[in-house]
Structure 1
Amino acid sequence: MSKCIFCGNETGGTEFCQNCGAKVEGALIKQEAPVEEQEETPEVVTPERMDPQDTPGNFYKPQAATGILAANIVVLVLAVALCVHTIGITILAMIFSIIGIVNASKVKSAKSEFEANHRKSTATVMFILGLVALFAGFIVYLILHILRVITKNLFEMFSF
């Protein structure tokens, strides 16, 4: 069978193409070799399942701030122990350490490196402030204890 070289329509041996009207000459006739049709089997592609950790937007995996978390818990326990003797100052230490504990516990669930670093630094600052308040409370406790001992001794010395 011959085909028109302009539009590809089968001419059926005529001089002109019935589709585009082009003159079909001997030089313009293109014989196409018969092509055997092969049945193609479609290739089944199974998409790979991606873990939620491997998705492109979730590539940051922060590490837990367990050291600063434990340090804030220690400050909280010591502040509670000293709170009996010096109420005002050690309450500040408790507040600072609780804020530090909350921030340190949220480091691992941070969605970005910036948020994780911000929470770590906040927990560290709260630990330092809690430690300073705890130390100040301990100093106040020592001063009050020394004053009690001195006044007790003075009272016993001058009592008749």
Structure 2
Amino acid sequence: MRAKREPVRRQEPGPGQESVWDYPRPPRVEARSERVVVRLGGQVVADTTAAYRVLETSHPPVWYLPRTAFAEGALQPASGTSMCEYKGRAKYVDVVGGGARASSAGWTYPSPWAGYEVLVDHVALYPGRMDSCEIDGEVVQAQEGDFYGGWITASVVGPFKGAPGTMGW
């Protein structure tokens, strides 16, 4: 007999916070002006104040940085693709910096589907594969699991999809 699953309990956001359970489906894209700095191998590999974040129910935001924000040579094509039911087919990139290489640590949508065209020439990163990812000086935490690439900050509350046992949410 299968155990009954407990319902997901939304954490109530405090002042200045937002709940991922208030994010929409299909996901919404927002232009952002916070300073985003990414480090790998002890070096800054990306720095921008012109990012997008994608907000989807139950997920911490995924930040997309313009290719122009990355240091020369920091992005290298990687093998593999995946499919998003909303954005289309993603291609992966390795991120290189300071003598380190993070394999398939980022992805991009070269030809995103309708509604997500602004993501062309932008790259999302798995923050757990970088030395650090910062938003306005706050080091983000990586979303659990190895499929989603959400960036968790003090301004976002869950619970978050991605950990073991959450795939059915």
- TM-score, normalised via structure 2 length: 0.15
Q: 1 or 2 for the larger relative contact order (CA 8 Å, sep ≥6)?
A: 2
Between Structure 1 and Structure 2, the one with more strand by share is 2
- Which structure features the higher share of helix residues? 1
Return the TM-score normalized by structure 1. Answer: 0.15
